Amino acid sequence: MILVTGGAGFIGSNFVLDWLAQCDEPVLNLDALTYAGNLRNLASLQGDGRHVFVHGDIGDRALVERLLAEHRPRAIVHFAAESHVDRSIHGPAAFVKTNVEGTFALLEAARGHWGTLDGDARSSFRFLHVSTDEVYGSLGPRDAAFTEEHAYRPNSPYSASKAASDHLVRAWHHTYGLPVVTTNCSNNYGPYQFPEKLIPLMIVNALAGQPLPVYGDGMQVRDWLYVGDHCSGIRAVLERGRIGETYNIGGWNEKPNRDIVATICALLDELRPDPAGPHARLVTHVSDRPGHDRRYAIDARKIERELGWRPAETFDSGIRKTLRWYLDHPQWVAEVRSGAYRDWLATNYARR
């Protein structure tokens, strides 16, 4: 069995679904079910004995210790995190609590569990920490992409909290010997993504005929990684990654935000034409968020060289799959766009 934290969130739920589609090893799924955690993402696993869901917080050390003692997982895959930059600007305390204090509590529980193991169980145990390229800060237009050796320069409360968690994981390996691996990924997109992030926000707003808010000039550049490719990269690192190492997982798809929005509009014009006119008419430039990083880019050659991993999807293939998923799941979209979510949109965008 493996323990997955945050397995009802966007990337975590995709990972759980992908894992159980490919093998029969059970998953113990621990999620606090905050606003972005959604058990409907895992509806297809209802009644599946390979999936054990526990509603709980990674910061509840007594709970985590009990689960580790009871289920004795061979690995922990740690997704659980607060992950939205805009929300971190409005309320940084939750990011410090979950990303820093929660990771600390989880590491301590994992260290205690690992200390009880012996033989093959001890040598094969892994703690895989899932992080972000945002810890590296911002790149200039001609700067080389982030490698695993790039200095940390986080610029938002979110990225600072993730950088802190990365440092804790590294320290627990070097000080206590805990067998850890860390992954730093680029911007994910795909099914089940909560519509606060750029791509699902553009899709669901366009389908509703609502404005498509683009920060500033829309020339912020990101590397885009289809979530299924991210899941396969994490599997490769868990299976073959070297203890104590960091692996960047990227999609080799650098694109400015305004091009992403234009692509979504063009695909919707093709797949779901709007009688009122082209979807691009809805694009609305709004004031930029504070401290907005200009460019991220991932150099993913290390994971390719050492583990033989490369993304299977191009951006064109991945975004088409993503858009079709949202078109095919209107009930999921309607349910996540609750009153609480509408209140958040008003808080973040009303004065822009």
Residues with catalytic annotation?
133-134, 158
d(CA 71, CA 35): 27
Q: Strands, DSSP E only, in the chain?
A: 2-5, 27-31, 51-55, 75-78, 126-132, 180-185, 187-189, 212-215, 221-226, 246-249, 254-256, 283-286
Sort 143 into a burial class: Cβ within 10 Å, 0-12 / 13-18 / 19+. Answer: exposed
Q: Strands, DSSP E only, in 274-338?
A: 283-286
Other CB atoms within a 10 A radius of the CB of residue 97 amount to 14
SS3 295: strand
Phi-psi region of 177 (alpha: psi -120 to 50; beta: other; left: phi over 0): left
d(CA 207, CA 213): 14
Characterize the bridge pairing of strands 221-226 and 254-256.
antiparallel
DSSP 98: I
For residue 127, report the phi and psi dihedrals to the nearest 5 degrees.
Answer: -120, 110
d(CA 159, CA 37): 20
* Residues facing residue 130 across a β-bridge: 183
